[in-house]
């Protein structure tokens, strides 16, 4: 069942949820992902089911929040939500199935990890998951739906924590600072050391530097400290 819910971009962040509840849906899961663009690390998705009458001041698209504010809000969301599910797909799988399919896989994992079965999915982006659940894909959903915005914060905080932990294994890439994105420092480290097991070898920025390393007769990769 495909729902088509349209509201102006400036509408209240609960407008999608209110409309869905008027149509009889009760367990509404917002879904979002983070990490499609980086050169390294997993893509992470979150699914969040919020109570009907919820107040979460300051929750909005995670990209509009500082890291410290995201951490505080993620704790509030975890404490307030009826259910939270996380999905994570690693670099090797991303290389095997491509980043879009890996994103969908992470979203499906997040839904499966929910302790409550949702009866409606609100998904960030014009997407539909191969699941037997009513769903609606919403362009820029993290700016229009509180449930999706909450999922975006949980996903971002979860992935950032993972990347800070990976920094301890591979410090030369400065993952704690760049979260796997292709910053100058990260690219320079790739050129010097080649890719590590966390790098997405199907991504152009990694492919080019790996090829340059091999052409220079150096062994790519780096053993963790």
| Average pLDDT along the chain | 88
- According to the 3-state scheme, what is the secondary structure of the chain? CECCCCCCCCCCCCHHHHHHHHCCCCCEEEEEEECCCCCECCEEEEEEECCCCCCCCCCCCHHHCCHHHHHHHHHHHHHHCCEEEEEEECHHHHHHHCHHHHHHHHHHHHHHCCCCCCCEEEEECCCCCCCCCCEEEECCHHHCCHHHHHHHHHHHHHHHHHHHHHHHHCHHHCHHHHCCCCCHHHHHHHHHHCCCCCECCCCHHHHHHHHHHHHCCCCCCCCCC
Find how far residue 46's CA is from the centre of its chain: 7
- C-alpha to C-alpha distance for 222 and 41, rounded to whole angstroms: 15
163-204 tens-digit pLDDT = 999 999 999 999 999 999 999 999 999 999 999 999 999 998
pLDDT at 32: 97
What is the architecture, at CATH level 2, of domain 15-158? 2-Layer Sandwich (3.30)
Higher pLDDT, 188 or 219: 188
119-176 tens-digit pLDDT = 999 999 999 999 999 999 999 999 999 999 999 999 999 999 999 999 999 999 999 9
List residues bridging with 122 in a β-sheet: 30, 136
Range name among 2-16, 58-72, 80-94 with the lowest pLDDT average:
2-16
pLDDT at 11: 40
Question: Given pLDDT bands bounded at 50, 70 and 90, which one contains residue 94?
Answer: very high
Q: Which pTM was predicted?
A: 0.86
Where in the sequence of the chain do the CATH 3.30.420.10 domains occur?
A: 15-158
pLDDT at 62: 65
- Which candidate, 169, 152, 100, places its Cα nearest to that of 129? 100
What would the two tokens of residue 203 be?
């991504």
């Amino acid at each position: 069942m495909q729902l088509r819910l349209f509201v102006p971009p400036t509408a209240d962040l609960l407008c999608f949820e209110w409309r869905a509840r008027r149509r009889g849906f009760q367990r509404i899961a917002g879904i979002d992902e983070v990490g499609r663009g980086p050169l390294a690390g997993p893509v992470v998705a979150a699914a969040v089911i919020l109570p009907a009458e919820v107040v979460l001041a300051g929750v909005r698209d995670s990209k509009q929040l500082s890291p410290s504010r995201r951490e505080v809000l993620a704790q509030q969301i975890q404490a307030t939500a009826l259910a939270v599910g996380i999905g994570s797909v690693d670099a090797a799988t991303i290389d095997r199935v491509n980043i879009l399919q890996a994103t969908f896989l992470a979203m499906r994992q997040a839904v499966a990890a929910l302790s409550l079965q949702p009866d409606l999915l609100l998904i960030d982006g014009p997407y539909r998951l191969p699941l037997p659940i009513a769903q609606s894909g919403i362009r820029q959903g993290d700016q229009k739906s509180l449930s999706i915005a909450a999922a975006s914060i949980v996903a971002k905080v979860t992935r950032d924590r993972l990347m800070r932990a990976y920094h301890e294994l591979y410090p030369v890439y400065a993952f704690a600072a760049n979260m796997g994105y292709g910053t100058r420092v990260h690219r320079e480290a790739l050129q010097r050391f080649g890719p590590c097991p966390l790098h997405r070898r199907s991504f152009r920025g990694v492919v080019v530097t790996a090829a340059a390393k091999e052409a220079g007769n150096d062994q790519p990769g780096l053993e963790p400290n």
